[in-house]
Chains A and B, each alone.
Chain A
Amino acid sequence: MQNLWKDITFGLRMLAKSPGFTAIAVITLALGIGANTAIFSLMNQVLLKRLPVKSPDELVILLAPGPQTGHVSSDGDSAESFSYPMYKGLRDRNSVFSGILARYRFEASVASHGQTDRASGEVVSGNYFEVLGVRAALGRVFSQDDDRVPGAQPVVVLSHSYWTRHFGGDPSVLNKVLLINNVEMTVVGVSQSGFTGVQVGKIPDLFVPMMMTQQMTQHGETLDKWNDYWMTLLARRKPGISEQQAEAGINAVYRPLLEEQLPQIKSAWNEDKRQKFLNKKITLSSGAHGRTIAQDGSGEQLITLFVMVALVLLIACTNVANLLLARGASRQREFAIRTAMGASRGRMIRQLLAESLLCAFGGGALGILLGTWLMRILTPIVVASAGVQGLTEKLDPNVLTFAIGVTVLCGIFFGLIPAWRVTRLGVSDVIKDQGSTASASASHVGFRKVLVAGQVAFTMLLLAGAGLFMRSLWNLRNQDLGLKTDNVITFSIQPSLNGYDTPRSIALFDQLRARLAALPGVRSVGTGDVPTLSGDDEGSNITVEGGPQLAEELQDVDHDGVSPGYFATLGIPLLSGREFTEADGTAAPKVAIASEAMVKRFLPGRNPLGAHFAFGGGKVKPDIEIVGVVKDVKQEHVSSAIQPYLYVPYAQRPKLTGMTFYVRSTQDPLLLGSTFEKAVRELDANLPVYDVKTMERVVEEDLFSARMVAVLSASFAGLAALLAALGIYGVLAYVVVQRTREIGIRMALGAVAGQVRLLIVKEVGSMVLIGVAVGLPLAYGLARFSESLLYGVHAGDPAVYLSGLGFIGLIALAACLVPARRATRVDPLVALRYQ
């Protein structure tokens, strides 16, 4: 223990003696550890963190892949969607789960203290909190008693964060009545602090019993129809029941339930399809991390970024190892004397490890501070732009453990190798003979060059990755969306949450359009019930009169209910026919406008104008006439492929719940933002206006993931390049000192400055060539892994790799400038005196 203390104090003294070395090593490590801490924190919260509930490892998610028919509602994998009768059957008949819960997310309009806000709600089964092991912080949570009579449970449990945010944590909220989606609901409780629901990134603000589904949800979800798939199920395994046993147990009760459901299916299924339906099996996936929608959506990006940032740390560690090697070489005499005095090699390695660990702890402490600072920048951006709720900028124990673990590993990694190498010389070699020292130095230089070649390889990998992601982003930004985003502002309202039926909603939308169009500075107004570039879509199969026979998967078309002026406002070119007019109302003949892609697939070689179709298949009457054709538009995402699309007048939609407005202005559209809210309030003071943003921001938000990956990967690549340049510089500076005599000889023999410089450049060249030779295939491998994140560029894009090579060449040249200059200033006379 005393020896350890001595090592630490001596280590501190040695670090204090070389403040320059210490500062560079600590800052280099801090950059690497800080960036890793920040990205790991994101990854931990999105991918690794388990649900904050009791024994999350016992939870499983139920999936039933296979044929479905009827109404299917899903925000992820439709195999996750179950009907209420099926849920009830599974819940009551199984013997392998201690409980199966059901939940479904809905948008809520909550009126309280005289104002109406939007909130995120979940209808949940009565056993929801019991299965999860979540208690009430205030009042009570739901029980089986809340699961009995449809429509008879107007009660609500608030989430702890919503209660704190909206009611200031006031306990008197209990038993208060809130108007939720136009239904009076009594607050019966607040869920326990820290509970964030069962899906990362989507935190419910309030929970409502499933018996209130019809009153809360918008799309006609029912509690009695077998063919209405909408709720997702999570279950808790009974103690001692493995996942395999649970799967077998639940499938034993699933088959009879399917047989019970089969007679309810009205579709004309043949025997094969009926058998397929009856042979469906429930599969279980781990529920420890909850539903994996956010994980599936951003996992690849986060893992790619984490790999990149880990490489940056590796480069940083290599740099510090290189510095330690140089420092160790200059301390060989000290080690030789220690050996002569009887120190074992292990003892000296321990001494050096103490120094490197001290350095690592300095870097780690600074890195954690830097990581926290990066999190403060990154987290709000991710929350605001990617819509991933619940991320915190605070370091949780997992992240702190990670940061400390990385720090210790770094200290050992970059300390052990140099310690091993610098302590392996014989005593007499160093003490009595300079020549041998020179050869040992040559061995050090060789090893340091290998380390630098490794840095170059990793930098090449990062540069190529960053290049591909930047190129993707550039492609995304510069592609033709089919619409004009400049000077357009958008916002949404959802009157159905306030009790509006469809005719009333249509009247409201008509009035609001007229009011907005009359505002000063407004050039035109258009609306659509599917928000553009928001990731939402609404689709169904269609039957075209005289249309071609298409495979089942090609019969689907996405569609939107739009207003007159929609295309003009968004700058979508009308290619033929006409736009909708006010005359295309509810009672008017049904009309539609088709996109080019729709015409190409469903009406090839025909004049689309005047053609008729109907939504749905089978014996439907094609009574909707195509009256116009517009250019293809990126509707769902900027990165989505163009799909066939149909536009119908919103007044002719059978059901309307909400509407997104688009306003083209003659001035900065943001100046109009507040006037919209005023116009809406004048029509209905309780109607919340949400998602007020310019179309340019809509595009930017849609590109958030691509932008985040591109910007972060470019930052990491830049950092890696800087560290690699420092590494190259460090080795070259050392090489110049080590080769001073040789350079002197060469100059004595007539080498001019250019020839000496070339000597140094050749040193760099060998390191860079080896690094690039190793780095290129690695870069291609990483690019292949992340190919799904690329857009308009393939993993082997030569321009990207050539740019990466060029950049590596530039940093290598920049790094060798000073050492090369120093080399040319070697005075041969002085150099030869070394003899």
Chain B
Amino acid sequence: MSDTPTLIKMEGVKKVFYTDEVETHALSEIHLEIKKGTYISIAGPSGCGKSTLLSILGLLDSPTDGSYMLNGQPVGKLTISERTRIRNREIGFIFQAFNLIGDLTVYENVELPLTYRGTSASERKQKVQNALERVGMAHRLRHYPSQLSGGQQQRVAVARALVGDPLILMADEPTGNLDSKNGEAVMELLRDLHRNGATVCMVTHDQRYANFAERTIHLFDGRIVEETKEAGVTA
């Protein structure tokens, strides 16, 4: 595992929010390295900075200070359009509230990242079909999100996240809006994807689901305070 290339490397990352005259330190001195193929979970109580860290990892936000290398490339100071491009090609997002677009069908929702990438229609069709088959939703491609259960919507969201073959899947409380049965099913799905080589970074406050990952970092007040890990992973 030590020969596995590093996908993400953060050093001394800080995130400070300024509201009027109040400074809020959301993240402080985050040092983190994630190798390719790792399944990592970020755990901690509400307000500890988990989602902020995931947003920075997913290039939805930028750090106030520190360095962030993604796949060997510094991404902390990129322009908005460069970050957008990397997000589209290298990162797949899974949100707590699924964030499917209600006016688009299952097929169109999954197709969306490829559309923005300029992939040809025939290739898109093939990839969307594969992605939906991987999550067991190929039979629902003409349905609208409102016609699906929460678990099914999240499966579609997973398919959308992985359709573009991203380097890493970022999941923000993916089971947060699901009942335990559907939550388990989604976690199994993420584990299967990881077993097939996907790098997964998941934010959760639920220890049961954190245990699905091979490595868990615990945040408290914006700092990494503990790490539990299996062999071959460093922090």
Contact B99 A835 (CB under 8 A): yes
Which of B95, B99, B117 contacts A750, CB < 8 Å?
A: B117
The answer to the question of A751 belonging to the interface, with a C-beta cut-off of 8 Å to chain B, is yes
Q: How far is the CB of B119 from chain A (nearest CB, A)?
A: 11
Is the pair A749, B61 in contact by a Cβ cutoff of 8 Å? no
Is there a chain B Cβ closer than 8 Å to A828's Cβ? Answer: yes
Instruction: In the complex, identify which listed stretch (B82-90, B200-208, B211-219) lies at the interface while the others stay far away.
Output: B82-90
The reply to whether B61 and A829 form a contact with Cβ atoms under 8 Å apart is yes
B112 touches A748 (CB 8 A): no
Selected interface stretch from A130-138, A285-293, A739-747, A777-785? A739-747
Whether B84 contacts A752 by the Cβ 8 Å rule is yes
CA gap between A750 and B87 in the complex, in Å = 6
**Which of B60, B97, B117 is in CB contact (< 8 Å) with A748?**
B60
Asked if A253 CB lies within 8 Å of chain B CBs, one says no
Would A835 and B117 count as touching, CB distance under 8 A?
A: no
Report chain B residues within 8 Å CB of A479: none
Interface members, chain B 104-126 (any A CB < 8 Å)? 112-113, 116-117
Interface flags, B175-212, vs A, CB<8A=1, else 0: 00000000000000000000000000000000000000
CB of A829 within 8 A of CB of B60, answer yes
Q: Mark A748-764, 1 if CB is under 8 A from B, else 0.
A: 11111101000000000
Contact of A752 (CB < 8 Å), options: B81, B99, B102 = B81
A window 146-169: CB within 8 A of B: none
A16 close to chain B: CB less than 8 A: no
Pairwise interchain contact B89-A750, C-beta atoms closer than 8 A: yes
User: Hey, which chain B residues are within 8 Å of A750, CB to CB?
Assistant: 84-85, 87-89, 113, 116-117
Distance (Å) between the CB of A742 and the closest chain B CB?
A: 5
What residues of chain A lie closer than 8 Å to B160, measured between beta carbons? 749
List chain A residues, Cβ under 8 A from B116: 746, 749-752, 755
Would B97 and A749 count as touching, CB distance under 8 A? no
Given contacts A755-B116, A835-B95, contact A746 B85 (CB under 8 A): no
Give Cα distance in the complex from A832 to B97, angstroms. 9
User: Measured between alpha carbons, how far is A753 from B96 in the docked complex, in Å?
Assistant: 25
**Bound complex: CA of A749 vs CA of B85, how far in Å?**
9
A829-B60, A829-B61, A832-B99 as given contacts; A748 in contact with B81, CB under 8 Å = no
Interface: B39 (CB within 8 A): no
> In the assembled complex, which residues on chain A have CB atoms less than 8 Å from the CB atom of B93?
748-749
- Interface size grouping (class) on chain B: 20 to 34
Cα-based distance from A753 to B81 in the complex (angstroms):
8
Q: Does B67 contact A (CB under 8 A)?
A: no
**Which one of B88, B96, B102 contacts A749 once the chains associate, using CB atoms below 8 Å?**
B88
Contact A745 B99 (CB under 8 A): yes
The CA-CA distance from A189 to B169 in the complex, in Å, is: 102
Asked if A835 and B60 sit within 8 Å, CB to CB, the answer is: no
Give min CB distance, B89 to chain A, whole Å.
7
What string of 1s and 0s marks CB contacts (under 8 Å) between B25-61 and chain A? 0000000000000000000000000000001001011
Expressed in whole angstroms, the Cα–Cα distance for A252 and B167 within the complex equals 104
* Chain B CB within 10 Å, residue with most, of A749, A752, A755, A832: A749
Partner of A835 from the list B81, B96, B101 (CB cut-off 8 Å) is: B96
CB pair A832 B112 closer than 8 Å:
no
Q: Once bound together, how far apart are the Cα atoms of A835 and B99, in whole Å?
A: 8
Report the nearest B residue to A834, measured CB to CB. B97
| B-side contacts of A835, CB under 8 Å | 95-97, 99
Complex Cα spacing A753 to B87, Å:
14
Minimum Cβ distance to chain A for residue B138 (Å) = 20
A752 to B60 Cα, complex, angstroms: 13
**A828, B89: Cα distance in complex, Å:** 17
Q: Shortest distance in angstroms between B92's beta carbon and chain A's nearest beta carbon?
A: 9
Distance in Å from the Cβ of B201 to the closest Cβ of chain A? Answer: 15
Interface centre among B100, B102, B160 (most CB of A within 10 A): B102
Q: What residues of chain A lie closer than 8 Å to B88, measured between beta carbons? A: 749-751
| Cα separation A745 to B99 with both chains bound (whole Å) | 7
**Distance (Å) between the CB of A11 and the closest chain B CB?**
35
- The answer to whether B87 touches A748 (Cβ under 8 A) is yes
How many angstroms from the CA of A461 to the CA of B84 in the assembled complex? 43
Q: How far is the CA of A751 from the CA of B113 in the complex (A)?
A: 8
Q: How far is the CB of A435 from chain B (nearest CB, A)?
A: 10
Evaluate contact between B84 and A745: CB separation under 8 angstroms: no
Q: Which of chain A's residues 808-835 have a Cβ closer than 8 Å to chain B? A: 828-829, 832, 835
Which B residues are CB-close (under 8 A) to A828? 60
0 or 1 for each of B62-90: is its CB under 8 Å from A? (1 = yes)? 00000000000000000001001101110
Whole-angstrom CA separation of A753 from B160 in the bound complex:
21
Interfacial residues of chain B within 138-163, with CB under 8 A of chain A in the complex: 160
Looking at the assembled complex, report how far the CB atom of A542 sits from the nearest CB atom of chain B, in whole angstroms.
77
| A residues near B113, Cβ cutoff 8 Å | 749-750
A748 contact set on B, CB distance < 8 A: 58, 60, 87, 93, 99
Beta-carbon contact of A749 and B112 below 8 Å? yes
**Min C-beta distance of B17 to chain A, whole Å:** 11
Closest CB of chain A to B61's CB: distance in Å? 5
A717-755 contact mask (Cβ, 8 Å, vs B): 1 or 0: 000000000000000000000000110011111111101
The residues in A between 210 and 239 inclusive whose CB is less than 8 angstroms from any CB of B are none
User: Which residues of chain A come closer than 8 Å to B84, judged between CB atoms?
Assistant: 747, 750-752
A829 proximity list for chain B (CB < 8 A): 55, 60-61
Interfacial chain B residues near A749, Cβ < 8 Å = 87-88, 93, 112-113, 116, 160
Chain B neighbourhood of A746, CB < 8 A = 101, 112, 116
Distance of B159 from chain A, by nearest CB (Å): 13
A829, B97: Cα distance in complex, Å: 14
Q: Determine how close the nearest CB of chain A comes to the CB of B150; give it in whole angstroms.
A: 12
Q: Which single residue of chain B is at the shortest CB-CB distance from A833?
A: B51
The residues of A that contact B101 with a CB separation of less than 8 Å are 742, 745-746
Separation in Å of the A754 CB from the closest CB of chain B? 10
In the bound assembly, the distance between CA atoms of A750 and B113 in angstroms comes to 6
A755 to B81, CA, bound (A): 12
B128 to chain A, nearest CB (A): 14
Alpha-carbon separation in the docked complex, A829 to B93 (Å): 12
The answer for the CA separation of A741 and B100 in the assembled complex, in Å, is 10
In Å, the complex CA distance between A747 and B91 comes to: 12
Which of A742, A748, A829 is packed against the most chain B CB atoms within 10 Å? A748
Of all chain A residues, the one with the shortest Cβ separation from B55 is: A829
CA distance A525 to B85 in the complex (A): 81
Give the nearest-CB partner of A746 in chain B: B112
CB B37 to nearest CB in A, in angstroms, measures 23
A433 to chain B, nearest CB (A): 14
Docked CA distance A746–B160 (Å) = 12
Q: How far does the Cβ of A208 sit from chain B's closest Cβ, in whole Å?
A: 80
Residue with the greatest number of chain B CB neighbours at <10 A, chosen from A747, A753, A835 = A835
Chain A residue at smallest Cβ distance from B85: A750
CB distance from A820 to the nearest CB of B (A): 16
> A3 to B72, alpha carbons, bound, how many Å?
71
A832 & B60 in contact (Cβ 8 Å cutoff): yes
Give chain B nearest CB distance to A106 CB in angstroms: 75
On whether the beta carbons of B95 and A832 are closer than 8 Å, the reply is yes
A263 to chain B, nearest CB (A): 88
**What's the nearest-Cβ distance from chain B to residue A752, in Å?**
5
B104 and chain A: residue at smallest CB distance: A742
Name the residue of chain B whose CB is nearest to the CB of A835. B97
Give min CB distance, A564 to chain B, whole Å: 82
Which residue of chain B has the shortest Cβ distance to A755 in the bound complex? B116
Q: Could you tell me the distance between the alpha carbons of A755 and B84 in the complex, rounded to whole angstroms?
A: 12
Q: Provide the bound-state CA to CA distance between A749 and B86, in Å.
A: 10
Q: Which residue of A lies closest to B62 (CB)?
A: A829
Chain A interface residues toward B at CB < 8 A = 741-742, 745-753, 755, 828-829, 832, 835
Q: Which 4 A-B pairs have the closest CB atoms?
A: A750-B88, A835-B97, A750-B116, A829-B60
Known: A753-B81, A829-B55. 6 other contacts (CB 8 A): A749-B112, A749-B116, A749-B160, A750-B84, A829-B61, A835-B95
Residues of chain B at the chain A interface (Cβ within 8 Å): 55, 58, 60-61, 81, 84-85, 87-89, 93, 95-97, 99-102, 112-113, 116-117, 160
Q: What are 12 A-B contacts with C-beta separation under 8 Å?
A: A742-B101, A746-B116, A748-B93, A748-B99, A749-B88, A750-B87, A752-B84, A752-B116, A753-B81, A828-B60, A829-B60, A832-B95
